[in-house]
Amino acid sequence: MHFCCNAGSLVSGATPFPEDPTDYYAHPALGFVGCNQLFCRGCNSFVRSVAGLGFALPNMQVDLGALYDRPVLLEAPELAPTYPERRLYLCRCSRWLEQFNRPVFIAEPDPLTDPTMPWMCGGHLVRVLPCDLDGVRVETEADVTALVEKAFTGFAGPTARPKEAALWPARLYALLGVTPAGQIVAEAAEARLADPDPAVRERAIQFFTIHPLPSGVARLLDALEGDRSLLAGELEDAAWRALAQFLDRNDHVLELARKEVLTPGRGRALYADLMAKDGPWMLDHAAEIARANPEWVPALLDAARLHHDDPHAVRARVGA
């Protein structure tokens, strides 16, 4: 099963809301959509929704169970057309009219303005072969292999979300997951980290930024510790962005990142993440970091202002 980010999201009638129950909000980089598999823990039922409908009268008292059981909500006398950007959600015990986009679960909700229903993403089945992948029909694993080859060279399906072709390999894996077809995508991504075309390598790095699978992360770490020839130019920064999510989870990555920001000509891409996740060390070494790359001091101070608990102390250490 796949589950949406943030336990699922409520969306307006103007926000994409997929009909396919296997489609879901996999990652912020892969396009925001409403969850079509919200489940209510209060009445043990999946939440229904419809755009452009609301209750016929304000604060109208209705039998939600009977309304929920109606095959076609559009024919319910309790409901009436409303603004198209509004979306009505209901289960057997709760209802909600949404006109914005927000997580279905908010840790400290305002009871007057935020949802408090016992709803969450109930899970989305993994897409299995044969199936449609954003407008491309695949029947066999051989079809997946051929499609992934095209995807890493810049092809995206006609209904791909998002439209940015560089992200489509990650979208394919998000849909196929830990299936044999999904494994084909993951193995192709790892192999493309060494592709002679830098555009292909960049797509592979983006893949492992979104899906930090151990095999790909290990390859990126090996490259940063050794021969960086395949990470020339902006790809080195991209590789660090992929690894930055491990700064507070892996001591080896953290130590390598600390060394990076103390090295002339390196480390700028890490300033923000280290300020947020390793703030005390960054404060203690701010002057050394500035001396290593004095031309990047403005970027260092910007990162401190946005992400450090005490940006004024960082500025003082730098002497700015």
pLDDT for 235 = 96
* Residues 260, 281 contacting (CB under 8 angstroms): no
Positions in the chain whose pLDDT score sits under 50: none
Residue 259: both structure tokens together: 């060394």
Interval 158-181: pLDDT, tens: 999 888 888 999 999 999 999 999
Sequence-ordered list of residues with C-beta below 8 angstroms from that of 296, at least 6 positions apart, any chain: 268, 271
Residue 149: both structure tokens together: 């080859």
Sequence-ordered list of residues with C-beta below 8 angstroms from that of 201, at least 6 positions apart, any chain: 192, 193, 194, 195, 230, 231, 235
What angle in degrees, to the nearest 10, is found between the helix axes of 214-225 and 235-243?
Answer: 130
| φ/ψ of residue 80, rounded to 5 | -145, 155
Element (H, E) at 192: helix 180-192
CA dist list (Å): 75 to 50, 66, 200 = 12, 13, 51
Give the span between the Cα atoms of 273 and 309, in whole angstroms.
13
Model pTM above 0.85:
yes
The full set of domain ranges for the chain reads: 5-121, 129-238, 247-320
pLDDT for 206 = 96
Interval 114-147: pLDDT, tens: 999 999 999 999 999 999 999 999 999 999 999 9
Count other C-beta atoms under 10 Å from residue 70's C-beta. Answer: 14
CA dist list (Å): 127 to 173, 186, 234 = 10, 15, 34
